[in-house]
Chain A
Amino acid sequence: MTQQQQNNIFEDWLARYKGMFFKVVRVYAFTPADQDDLFQEIAVQIWRSVPSFREESSAGTWIYRIALNTAMKWIRKEQKHREGQPYEHLEHLLTTNESLVDDRLEWLYEEIAHMNEADRAITLLLLDGFSYKEMSDILGISENHIGVKIHRIKKHLITKSKNYDHHGV
């Protein structure tokens, strides 16, 4: 594969799955500086992975797998270096379009952020409509185990929603 072909495929993936990139970034990184950093890290890893993609799974599944693995590795690395350090206050590349953000979506992200790494990944995949089989392929966990975890996650989120102020919605 030539570098030009690799770049073309990467740009196509970036355009088609941009939303997925942002979701993973937002679930694993909480400050704008960290979100920029993780976004760049995921983009680099996905670009590197292009020549290894064999179309045995869909591009979406492949990208999700890389993005989640990268995010989980990144968060472990960051936790090691971060303890006790203040967050940076810089201007950032990715901004949220405030007028389009639903408060309930913000709440959902916050709840996901409180979960452990694996549960965050499962919740993301579940909300994005992946099947148990696809989740199992992406995360390397048995379908049965995923089923058990999903049951717990749904129950947890529904219970938490009782405490959410719905503002009449």
Chain B
Amino acid sequence: MIIMEFEEMKRIWDTQNNEHVYAINETALHKKIIGRKKYTSVSAGRAELIVIFSNILAIGIMTVSGIMKGEVSVFTYALGAVLLFIAIFMTMSRIRRMRSQDKFEASMLGDLEHAIANARYQVWFSRIARLGLLPIAVITLVAVWDGDTSWWKWLLILAFFAVMYFLSGKERNCTVRQMKKLEALRDNLQKEN
């Protein structure tokens, strides 16, 4: 029977310090990057479609409602114009983003650059969507105030927009964090190369 003394165990343990026992699996890393690229692309596309279609839907509802009531206020026109402008602007951004998809080279760093570009776009997009909330909130609140609505309903709508603004800020911070992670990974890979 052989007994290993503790000093022997320590010597075995210390062998890890002199050898590169662990390595980064580059194939797995590339797959993760491709997964991240697809994820950022899909989530950016989904966010665009949600904003575009929800704005078009809101314009449709306002128009139908105005026709049925037989009267359309100046605030409805203003709100409709803002929503339409945002929908057109987002559609153009989407077209521009989709056209730029092919400019990245087919390599791990190229895919990573693509994922970063998607993440940057998401950050920009969430910032624009957040700013877009402000004119919508202002016009809605003024319209509701003008319509002789009770103060608690007005406060409720104000709270709704405040919560939306807060949540969109959280979402933006999340996309910024994802973008920074990808940028840090790219910097590390470039350093290793």
Q: Is the pair A105, B13 in contact by a Cβ cutoff of 8 Å?
A: yes
- The residue that B12 contacts in the complex, of A91, A92, A104, A154, with Cβ under 8 A, is A104
Q: Is the pair A95, B16 in contact by a Cβ cutoff of 8 Å?
A: no
Kindly state whether residue B22 has any CB partner on chain A within 8 Å.
yes
Closest to A10 in B: B184
Binding site for B on A (CB under 8 A): 7, 11, 19, 22-23, 91-97, 100-102, 104-105, 108, 127-129, 154, 157-158, 161-162, 164, 166, 169
Closest to B28 in A: A91
Q: Is the pair B15, A158 in contact by a Cβ cutoff of 8 Å?
A: no
For B188, list chain A residues within 8 Å (CB): 11
- The residue that A100 contacts in the complex, of B4, B21, B29, with Cβ under 8 A, is B21
For A166, list chain B residues within 8 Å (CB): 2, 4
Q: Is the pair B13, A127 in contact by a Cβ cutoff of 8 Å?
A: yes
Q: Is the pair A162, B1 in contact by a Cβ cutoff of 8 Å?
A: yes
Kindly state whether residue B20 has any CB partner on chain A within 8 Å.
yes
B15 → A minimal CB distance (Å): 6
For B146, list chain A residues within 8 Å (CB): none
Mark each residue of chain B from 43 to 61: 1 if its CB lies under 8 Å from any CB of chain A, else 0. Answer: 0000000000000000000
For B12, list chain A residues within 8 Å (CB): 102, 104-105, 108
For A157, list chain B residues within 8 Å (CB): 4, 6, 9
Cα separation A164 to B10 with both chains bound (whole Å): 16
Kindly state whether residue B5 has any CB partner on chain A within 8 Å.
yes
Binding site for A on B (CB under 8 A): 1-6, 9-10, 12-13, 15-17, 19-25, 27-29, 31-32, 184, 188
Q: Is the pair A95, B13 in contact by a Cβ cutoff of 8 Å?
A: no
Closest to B6 in A: A154
Q: Is the pair B20, A93 in contact by a Cβ cutoff of 8 Å?
A: no
Q: Is the pair A94, B15 in contact by a Cβ cutoff of 8 Å?
A: no
Q: Is the pair A104, B4 in contact by a Cβ cutoff of 8 Å?
A: yes
B165 → A minimal CB distance (Å): 26
Cα separation A19 to B3 with both chains bound (whole Å): 27
B179 → A minimal CB distance (Å): 14
Cα separation A67 to B26 with both chains bound (whole Å): 25
Q: A93-B28, A158-B3, A166-B2 are in contact. Are A22 and B9 (CB under 8 A)?
A: no
Closest 4 CB pairs of A and B: A161-B4, A91-B28, A127-B13, A95-B25
Q: Is the pair B22, A22 in contact by a Cβ cutoff of 8 Å?
A: yes
Q: A158-B4, A164-B4, A166-B2 are in contact. Are A96 and B22 (CB under 8 A)?
A: yes
Cα separation A129 to B11 with both chains bound (whole Å): 11
Most buried by B among A100, A128, A162, A164: A100
Closest to B22 in A: A22
Q: Is the pair B9, A19 in contact by a Cβ cutoff of 8 Å?
A: no
For A164, list chain B residues within 8 Å (CB): 2, 4
